[in-house]
Structure 1
Amino acid sequence: MQLTEVIEKRRSIRKFSDKPVSRGILEELIKAAALAPTASNLQAWRFFVADDPKLVRDIDSFSPGLSGKPPVIIAIASDLAEVERRGSKNSLVYGLMMDASMAAENLMLKAADLGLGTCAIKSYNDKAVHKLLNLPDTMRLEILISLGWPEGEPRTPKRKPMEEVLFWNAWEGQAEEAADKKPEKETDSPSTAEKALKTATLAESRNSKAEHFNKKELQDLLIYMITSAAGLPGEPQMYGPLRLIESSRRLAGMLGDAYGGAVFGELTALIDAGKGKNMTDPEGFCEMLGEAAAQATDLLSD
């Protein structure tokens, strides 16, 4: 395809077929990514390609922004040790993410040229994905890209007209009203078959596992979550993560009582020890949340 055609064809794909992507094609995509501009020619990006089905599922579990069950996930990370060695302090602050973004765009355009679909996200738990990929502390995750053969044709998203985004030489105030407008979010509506399968799966799960849980505890958790959500609009923002992690702690306790397992006990102990830091030690509280997510990866081996 011609370059303009590729640019126009690229879409954020959120539904993939189960057709595998060959490593030859994946290497071709990484070669395209590595040709992107990079500040001071640092080339500090590192590309981690997950094509093992279990690893892909595990990463997907800790990446709320991913959808559509992609057969491949590509993580773009920055080698901080390389940057330190080269003495590029500015790159540590802002250049690495810019380099990774340009590499990601190269990769996604090449994928579109080959008929593949991609979607770049930043919504993932950093510590959990670090652990799953066995990354050293000197690697900083910058972006994840889901990749595979598209399932169906994605709709064309609306784009703002040029008069709202293009300005010659200086700002003249043409787009004050447009500044408050938000781009429409691309969504995929589940098919009837998908809805039926989900309903059947939930029913089967309910029938086989409901007897393991205490109904009163489940009801109490539900009420706690509803009342927490109802109260949050009038409370400081700091209470949101606290309410959510407290709900998670209660659920972990119930799962531990129903099924046993050291991980549930360790999670509840970690949360109990750290949730009180929400107001006294916000950084310690955030660290506890990250540790809990990383610790939860051990559940995937069950």
Structure 2
Amino acid sequence: MSTNTITINGKERYYEPAPHDIDVENFRKVITSRRSVRKFTQKPIPQAVLDDCLDMALLAPCSSGLQQWEFYVVRSADKKAKLVKACMSQLAAKTAAELIVCVARTDRIDDFAKQMLREWPMPDVPPLVKRYYQLIPYNYSSGPLNSFAYAKKAAFALGGLVAAVPRGPYTKSEVELWAAKSTALACENLVLAFRAHGFDTCMMEGFDAARVSKLLHLKDGAFPIMVIGAGERADDGVFWPQVRFDRKLFVHEV
């Protein structure tokens, strides 16, 4: 038996114990000190720090392990100037040491489903897992004018009368939302990683998506969901105290 397996009920299972030495208070400090910083100093972010933060972003949870994201670190002075304009010349974009465009992808689902099977981390791919990834291209295909999507939606609605069934994503827009959700999780990993390294960020949704897509030569099936400015927080980089409404508006026990 390898060090990564354990026997449960006579069967060998993969074993990955959770670490118990995590400092919760330091993690809380990362969470609570993360702010949308609107003004940065001129201090550069070391390449090693940038790479480490991006690597931690890529460890974010994602639907079916398909990693529906891309990160474009805009380094060209010309492209950076155009990106700042596409972000409506926000101060957070103008002063950031690094500008990173976070892109969601829906055009690599088929390829990545196959790659998952090729790179499966265990010696054998379980039959159910293999079948699942073989069906993924059909599950996320909407067809011309969403024709396949509506057929699937009707079929699952009928099935849902007698059992719990997945209710999408079916249409092109639903698949885009599916990809955006996973990409947003990676964005959160990225900004928290920067904060843990002592740098700050501003997650900008106010940008001209068409101009950003043209700047990065994005094709159909790839779309920007966020531009993240990163750098060292200026003394006046946070404009006002954080506002959070009463907890009871958001947390419910049912």
Task: Give TM-score scaled by structure 2 length.
Answer: 0.61
The aligned counterpart of 2:204 is: 121
What amino acid is aligned across from residue 80 of structure 1 in structure 2?
A: T
| Distance change (3 Å), C-alpha of 1:74 and 1:138 | same
What amino acid is aligned across from residue 10 of structure 1 in structure 2?
A: R
The aligned counterpart of 2:187 is: 104
Pair 1:6-2:30 in alignment: yes
**Following TM superposition, by how much is the alpha carbon of 1:81 offset from its aligned partner in structure 2, in angstroms?**
2.1
Q: Deviations over 1:196-216 (max 9, x none)?
A: xxxxxxxxxxxxxxxxxxxxx
Pair 1:15-2:39 in alignment: yes
Q: Deviations over 1:156-181 (max 9, x none)?
A: 31211223322211xxxxxxxxxxxx
**In proportion to residue count, which structure has more strand?**
2
Contact map agreement 1:56 1:72 (CA 8 A) in 2: no
The aligned counterpart of 1:80 is: 106
The aligned counterpart of 1:159 is: 244
Identity of aligned residues (%): 24
Considering only aligned residues, what root-mean-square deviation do their CA atoms show, in Å?
2.0
Contact map agreement 2:87 2:206 (CA 8 A) in 1: yes
| Distance change (3 Å), C-alpha of 1:25 and 1:52 | farther
Q: Deviations over 1:95-150 (max 9, x none)?
A: 21111111011111111111111111222111211222233334221221111111
Pair 1:60-2:84 in alignment: yes
Contact map agreement 1:53 1:71 (CA 8 A) in 2: no
Describe how 1:126-137 pairs up with structure 2 within 5 A: 126-137=209-220
What amino acid is aligned across from residue 217 of structure 2 in structure 1?
A: N
Aligned to 2:59, what secondary structure does the other structure show? coil
**Following TM superposition, by how much is the alpha carbon of 1:40 offset from its aligned partner in structure 2, in angstroms?**
0.4
What amino acid is aligned across from residue 34 of structure 1 in structure 2?
A: L
Kindly name which structure, 1 or 2, has the bigger radius of gyration based on alpha carbons: 1
Contact map agreement 1:65 1:121 (CA 8 A) in 2: no
| Distance change (3 Å), C-alpha of 1:78 and 1:166 | closer
Aligned to 1:16, what secondary structure does the other structure show? coil
What amino acid is aligned across from residue 81 of structure 1 in structure 2?
A: D
Contact map agreement 1:79 1:139 (CA 8 A) in 2: yes
Pair 1:38-2:62 in alignment: yes
The aligned counterpart of 1:26 is: 50
| Structure 2: runs of 5 or more not aligned | 1-24, 114-136, 141-168
Aligned to 1:150, what secondary structure does the other structure show? coil
Contact map agreement 1:56 1:71 (CA 8 A) in 2: no
Aligned to 1:81, what secondary structure does the other structure show? coil
Pair 1:149-2:232 in alignment: yes
**In proportion to residue count, which structure has more helix?**
1
| Distance change (3 Å), C-alpha of 1:135 and 1:33 | same
Distance 1:81 1:25 in 2: 30
- Greater relative CO, 1 or 2 (CA 8 Å, sep 6+): 2
